[in-house]
Structure 1
Amino acid sequence: MRYLELNSAILQKKNGFFQLEKDLEAARAFEEEVEKRLRPFPGPIERLRALIAEGYYEDFFRLYREEDLLELSDLAYSYGFRFPSFMAISKFYKDYALKSNDKRQYLERYEDRVLAVALHLAQGNVERARAYVRALMEGRYQPATPTFLNAGRARRGELVSCFLLELDDSLNSIGYTLNTAMQLSKIGGGVAINLSKLRARGEAIKGVAHAAKGVVPVMKLFEDAFNYADQMGQRKGAGAVYLNIFHWDVEEFLDTKKINADEKSRIQTLSLGLVVPSKFFELAERGEDFYVFAPYSVYQAFGEHLDDMDIDQRYEELLAHPAVKKRPLSARAMLTRIAQTQFESGYPYIVYKTNANRAHPLKRLGQIKMSNLCTEIFQLQTTSTIGDYGEGDQIGYDISCNLGSLNIVNVMESGKLRESVHIAMDMLTAVSDLSDVRNAPGVRRANQAFHSVGLGAMNLHGYLAKNRIRYESEEARDFARSFFAAVNFYSLERSMGIARERGVTFEGFAQSDYATGAYFEPYLEEDFRPRTEAVRWLFEGIALPTPADWARLKAEVARHGLYHAYRLAIAPTASISYIQNATPSIAPIVDVVETRTYGNATTYYPVPFLSEETYWYYKSAYHMNMYRLIDLVAEIQPHVDQGISTVLYVTSETSTRELARLYVYAWKKGLKSLYYTRTKNLSVEECLSCAV
């Protein structure tokens, strides 16, 4: 195929540099192939009528006049959009564009997908649909994959596809959660489950000693469930399980990812995460043992689950209680064990539970207990109590991830920071309002109560490199600090505006730090506008909130409330970044020309804005100082009410001791989580210490 040949020619350097023009030639060659497979229509209205009649689209004519649909279609096409890279166009037509039932014809161009998304989310409001089309066509905002893929389709999946479930310590709860997880996996959802309430292996059941089998057999059940409920074979099920590090079974939990683990206990496809309170790190710093506890013995002694306790405050009380079953482990050895497991598998994720709850604006309503598959969602959960047949259930709060991202480059260069955040919040709110996952009652209940969304960002490294700023520099941290403080302000402003317009606040608002005003205090005491001259220049012409603006917003929020309990979360962005021609999330790039293999084809993706001048600002993550990466995330985290998906990049030269130090450093800097640890084995040519 000619476009693959052209794309691979990028690597054939000319005058010592990549032939980047070959990538655009590849994109244009792919366009030619697309044109041959595009189904022709006489015009935009005829196209909509035909696809509605044939069951591809929902009935847009029910909500919009014909002249409005024509105007909005013309608006989308007025931008003269062309895909800026081969990866972008190939990814869009492979994964997002609507196709005929036999997959032979394309039924959408990019503009048509944008139009369908805008029409669906605007629900008949033409002015809002117009704003959505502009934001999407200008690349200022990008909905997450489930929304961008499904919105407007007659036969569609859910607009959200990531969920968090809380498991109680009963067979009823295991069965209920297993079924809920399968129902969510069936629709393409990734599901994270907290196992921390389960009694440990060897604990009693109904007074019979040594009857409980522990967490590993339950992990196997969920792994099999996700493999079975795989969206009719189109997409593999994806699941993660979390366990509190003070749980008796923590060693067995980690051992399931060892390369040489017994096949009966080995976990192959589930992701693993550890929930780690600060007490563990304090003990590790002092070189002391930490004690793991048998959860059911804790529940019998205190009438509370171990996972619901504030272990930082009650650790000594747990140690002193004679009825609580416990045993010591070396805290530092556990850190090394976690690092070794991460080197082998990339897992476990780490959730800094104390950091997450200390910064939680809704701490009086409930606590954060875990995170999702990508470790950026941090919301309160409560446990459902599942009765026997004929008895009522008490459904608690579970979580759905409703995500989208700002493209930092396009937002900054348009000068429309406030407008972009407001429109993004409106689009995410529409997704929340339109989501009704009936087969997950806890998810449905929480969505109705809290209207939670997760606005994030992408293209940070791209923006920095384009503006000749190094990712590890003080200027990068200064930009990130000011940008995300402003995003926080404008997201609060729009959430308050929606609450005022609708006369509705999220459930429990009056008990939140927003209502008391405590949340706003740091912004009244410190000015988060740029400190450095270089960054002040970048924001020239863009309004940034002052402490006086924050004081005004504090008063307005106290008066009108907020519609969203949670607003911001920075997720990793994969295929969506390619569509936007953006560097992923706020992460550094891995290679200046990324290699991706899909099936039998290899695609080469040069990072956006790559040139002989910007090349020197695109340092690979594997050659970066990970402490500086953590410093950058730590500048952003105070302005993000949920979390930031943060990957550590290490090489074969990194020791387990050094990796463990990074865990401690991230904890001290206030991060709420660490996602994967990515390891690269350096060859002699790649190893900087061996370079001549």
Structure 2
Amino acid sequence: MLLDTQENINSGYSYQTNHSHNKEAKNAGQIEVIKRSGTSAPLDVTKIRKVVDWACNGKEVNSIALESGLKTRLRHGITTREIQDNLINCALELCDLDQPDWRYVAGRLHIWSLWKETLVHRGYNYGNYAQTVQSFVEQGKYDERILTYSTTELEEAGSWINADWDLDYDYAGAVLLTSRYLLPQELPQEAFLTCALLLAMVESPDSRLYYARKFYEAIASRRISLATPILANLRIPNGSLTSCFIVSIDDNLESIFREITNTARISKNGGGVGVNVSRIRATGSSVMGKKNASGGVIPWIKLLNDTAIAVNQGGRRAGAVTVGLDIWHLDVPEFLEMQTENGDQRRKAYDVFPQLVIADEFMRRVENKQEWTLVDPFEVQNELGIDLAPLWGVEFEKAYSIIEANLETKIKLYKKVNARELFKEIMRAQVETGMPYLAFKDAINKANPNKHDGYIPGVNLCTESFSNVTPNKYAHCCNLVSLNLANLEDSDIESVCTLAVRILDNTIDITIPPFEDAKNHNDRYRTIGVGAMGLADWLAKRELRYNNLSEISDLFENIGYHCTQASMLLSKERGAYPAFEGSDWSKGLLIGSKPVTWFEENASQPIRWQKLAIDIQKYGIRNSHITAIAPNTSSSLVQGCTASVLPVYSRFFYDKWAKGTVPIAPPYVQDKYWFYQENKTLHQDQVVSAIATIQQWIDTGISMELLFNLNQGVYFADEPERSLKAKDIFDTLMMSWEKGCKAVYYVRIVQRDSFKEECTACAN
């Protein structure tokens, strides 16, 4: 057990003394401390020692080292806050690969400071949750819907708070939690509990406290991680909870400016948005009958770019917009150049994130070094009556062959390129900038359960969430949580998956989408995304590696099954999503629109899948899309685990923050470090194989970053002079398509001759 926390908080570092005593102390040469209340008192070193011992308790560190480091920094007139900051800095300076636990000591000291500040401002810490709620509602901090609960219910909920969970954070997690997610004078467990109560308020009156407690315990113990918009915005009035949006633009001014406005609304509320511009006519196309009048997609992308800058998420950060363009569009070459320094600066867009939406036919031509034809969608529509944008698979291939058969006769505006050379240009841009993202359109749409009701034009900002989008009607939107695999045992999977699906389904009913098309989509498809983080931790704890594909498959089969079953059970309780009839789900197809026979051949427990298919046909399913694995780079720091399902960059590194560098170390590095496969030296073919294995059980997408180390001998132990070549990167990207991955997120490069022990690969 830790030393008594409340005693430390109430006492601080100094005696309670009067001013005359302080004056005498100063004259006697004693060091005076300025307390948070503004009063002063002589320094009491024993109380510093007590706080240090409390912070170091249970960790593999020597508390004397922290004490001795602090003594050189004490001076007359020092504030208690400065003492606290000095202790934290000392702990961070002591942290290294051999003593990573110092980051937990720094985290506890940061939380201690938060507790002390809260005590000064509020007069109490934990212990009166109902009063805190009432006060925060009156101040406009909390959404008044929390008062759906009576004072008696709030008092009961307050009794669930476990303050010890505040002490589980390392420094990076503690700082991110307090700076990004907590409101002024709010404590962590109050934030988690309030979120849980609000998430449960749509439950029946006799069960909402039951579910609120389940939600709270799963969130506060870091088994379920709420996505940033939910954790940051759920408690505040009119907060937007949705993480992911996709809109699609038609080829007319009304649609263009409508979706730019919707993009601004999304950005204002802190969401990320994908904007598909494939329908917009190409450069040199005709406008109002005038030939060669169109400026193509780039000017409109530039407007989206400037919108992202202007509507900057309430001043927190610039808006986040990914712009998608199909690989057949005539403007693809300029699209690839729009973030380079050379060329006309009026046709540059440096603040959007480009994505290319790629057809299987293009990839086959890349493979075979064949020609590829870039065309203008407006001319194709006018001359041949073909709307290319919604087509994929066989339908696209048929339409494309018709287009190529009519070059020069009906299609005048086109350009022939070598498919492989174009792919090399894509790779060159990725090596230089990390982008464009790649969205494999056929794989995405083959797995779409709602083919009867539309198509998926591209991917969201982080490439993991997508569903049907119809211009001026439906805009994809999705709420996310992640399972923290580092903190889960195999026996926990079923219950935690069930809670996660229920949390997200409830979120749909309490969120207020920022525009009508998003609300229409929410109502029709009820799209959610249960993801995962901490796979590297899960593997290390079991002494497994990323090439243990069978064990990885079994884990995600369980996650996929239990999440899908949970949505079916919710449908039985609450009803199916409105577009269910005619969907692949309704036809007995399961995850990825695969037939039951696939599960009979590939699942470790096929009988349960057979029954699930029958149950879904009988009872429906509540959510059209259920699982999606986000990058969760920042939230994984709060969760104390590795990000997403990717290997950790390094066993120990310093992340660069605004206030300096912060030590980052995976939590199981001490006991299982030899099983930690560092991404900076792991061949990315293993990553692609693992992601492809996981993708079989995830019905939406996975944010797959690829990290290529160009230094000599990294991947080739027998050839120390050999380094990675462009052909190796090409083969890995081709492999990601061939194995059925749905998208490639960032491509990261560790540069030759600049190898450093620091993270250069963090998204978000």
TM-score normalised to structure 1 length: 0.89
Counterpart in the other structure of 2:362: 280
2:728 is the counterpart of 1:658: yes
Q: Judging changes above 3 Å, is the alpha-carbon distance between structure 1 residues 221 and 510 closer, same or farther for their aligned structure 2 residues? A: same
Alignment of 1:39-438 (within 5 A): 39-41=122-124, 43-59=128-144, 62-77=147-162, 80-99=165-184, 107-123=185-201, 125-154=208-237, 156-310=238-392, 311-321=396-406, 322-324=409-411, 325-384=413-472, 396-412=473-489, 415-437=491-513
Asked if structure 1 preserves the Cα contact closer than 8 Å seen for 2:641 and 2:667, the reply is yes
Greater relative CO, 1 or 2 (CA 8 Å, sep 6+):
1
Asked if structure 1 preserves the Cα contact closer than 8 Å seen for 2:651 and 2:666, the reply is yes
Provide the C-alpha distance between the structure 2 equivalents of 1:353 and 1:150, rounded to a whole number of angstroms.
33
Asked if structure 2 preserves the Cα contact closer than 8 Å seen for 1:201 and 1:210, the reply is yes
2:540 is the counterpart of 1:465: yes
Counterpart in the other structure of 1:28: 108
Letter in 2 for 1:427: I
Asked if structure 1 preserves the Cα contact closer than 8 Å seen for 2:534 and 2:645, the reply is yes
Query: Structure 1 residue 590: deviation in Å?
Result: 0.7
Query: Structure 1 residue 40: deviation in Å?
Result: 3.0
Provide the C-alpha distance between the structure 2 equivalents of 1:189 and 1:524, rounded to a whole number of angstroms.
36
2:639 is the counterpart of 1:580: yes
Letter in 1 for 2:703: S
Alignment of 1:556-567 (within 5 A): 556-567=615-626
Letter in 2 for 1:337: E
Three-state SS of the structure 2 residue aligned to 1:33 is helix
Deviations 1:19-76 (A, max 9, x none): 1232222122223322231133372222222222222112366322323222222213
Asked if structure 2 preserves the Cα contact closer than 8 Å seen for 1:8 and 1:604, the reply is no
Query: Structure 1 residue 8: deviation in Å?
Result: 3.1
The structure 1 residue matched to 2:697, chosen from 631, 634, 639, is 639
Three-state SS of the structure 2 residue aligned to 1:416 is helix
Three-state SS of the structure 1 residue aligned to 2:355 is strand
Counterpart in the other structure of 1:551: 610
Letter in 1 for 2:200: A
Counterpart in the other structure of 1:607: 666
Three-state SS of the structure 2 residue aligned to 1:645 is coil
Q: Judging changes above 3 Å, is the alpha-carbon distance between structure 1 residues 235 and 282 closer, same or farther for their aligned structure 2 residues? A: same
Asked if structure 2 preserves the Cα contact closer than 8 Å seen for 1:258 and 1:344, the reply is no
Three-state SS of the structure 2 residue aligned to 1:301 is helix
Provide the C-alpha distance between the structure 2 equivalents of 1:110 and 1:94, rounded to a whole number of angstroms.
11
Deviations 1:558-601 (A, max 9, x none): 11111111111111012211111010000111121232222232
Three-state SS of the structure 2 residue aligned to 1:490 is helix
The structure 2 residue matched to 1:673, chosen from 722, 743, 747, is 743
Provide the C-alpha distance between the structure 1 equivalents of 2:341 and 2:90, rounded to a whole number of angstroms.
38
Counterpart in the other structure of 1:525: 600
Provide the C-alpha distance between the structure 1 equivalents of 2:415 and 2:165, rounded to a whole number of angstroms.
66
Provide the C-alpha distance between the structure 2 equivalents of 1:151 and 1:209, rounded to a whole number of angstroms.
51
Q: Name the stretch that deviates more: 508-517 or 442-451.
A: 508-517
Deviations 1:522-557 (A, max 9, x none): 45422523xxxxxxxxxxxxxxxx222122211111
Asked if structure 1 preserves the Cα contact closer than 8 Å seen for 2:128 and 2:158, the reply is no
Query: Structure 1 residue 269: deviation in Å?
Result: 0.9
The structure 2 residue matched to 1:494, chosen from 537, 562, 566, is 566
Counterpart in the other structure of 1:448: 523
Letter in 1 for 2:577: F
Deviations 1:371-397 (A, max 9, x none): 01100112111222xxxxxxxxxxx21
Q: Judging changes above 3 Å, is the alpha-carbon distance between structure 1 residues 174 and 61 closer, same or farther for their aligned structure 2 residues? A: closer
Three-state SS of the structure 2 residue aligned to 1:232 is helix
Counterpart in the other structure of 1:509: 580
2:701 is the counterpart of 1:649: no
Q: Judging changes above 3 Å, is the alpha-carbon distance between structure 1 residues 150 and 40 closer, same or farther for their aligned structure 2 residues? A: farther
**Alpha carbon RMSD of aligned pairs, Å?**
1.9
Provide the C-alpha distance between the structure 1 equivalents of 2:101 and 2:467, rounded to a whole number of angstroms.
45
Deviations 1:158-187 (A, max 9, x none): 011321110000011111111111111111
Provide the C-alpha distance between the structure 2 equivalents of 1:527 and 1:166, rounded to a whole number of angstroms.
36
The percentage of counterpart residues that share the same residue type is 27
Query: Structure 1 residue 402: deviation in Å?
Result: 0.9
Letter in 2 for 1:27: G
Three-state SS of the structure 2 residue aligned to 1:683 is coil
Asked if structure 1 preserves the Cα contact closer than 8 Å seen for 2:243 and 2:480, the reply is no
Provide the C-alpha distance between the structure 2 equivalents of 1:568 and 1:46, rounded to a whole number of angstroms.
38
Q: Which has the larger Rg?
A: 2
Asked if structure 1 preserves the Cα contact closer than 8 Å seen for 2:526 and 2:622, the reply is yes
Letter in 2 for 1:480: I
Letter in 1 for 2:538: Y
Give unpaired runs (5+ residues) of structure 2: 1-84, 711-722, 758-764
Asked if structure 2 preserves the Cα contact closer than 8 Å seen for 1:298 and 1:304, the reply is yes
Three-state SS of the structure 1 residue aligned to 2:462 is coil
Give unpaired runs (5+ residues) of structure 1: 12-16, 100-106, 385-395, 530-545, 688-692
Three-state SS of the structure 2 residue aligned to 1:649 is strand
Asked if structure 2 preserves the Cα contact closer than 8 Å seen for 1:514 and 1:557, the reply is yes
Residue correspondences, number = 640
Query: Structure 1 residue 361: deviation in Å?
Result: 2.1
2:572 is the counterpart of 1:485: no
Q: Judging changes above 3 Å, is the alpha-carbon distance between structure 1 residues 650 and 685 closer, same or farther for their aligned structure 2 residues? A: closer
Letter in 2 for 1:423: L
Provide the C-alpha distance between the structure 2 equivalents of 1:68 and 1:283, rounded to a whole number of angstroms.
64
Letter in 1 for 2:262: T
Counterpart in the other structure of 1:103: none
Q: Judging changes above 3 Å, is the alpha-carbon distance between structure 1 residues 309 and 527 closer, same or farther for their aligned structure 2 residues? A: closer
Letter in 2 for 1:30: H
Letter in 2 for 1:380: N
Three-state SS of the structure 2 residue aligned to 1:426 is helix
Three-state SS of the structure 2 residue aligned to 1:119 is helix
Asked if structure 1 preserves the Cα contact closer than 8 Å seen for 2:705 and 2:745, the reply is yes
Query: Structure 1 residue 664: deviation in Å?
Result: 1.1
Query: Structure 1 residue 217: deviation in Å?
Result: 0.7
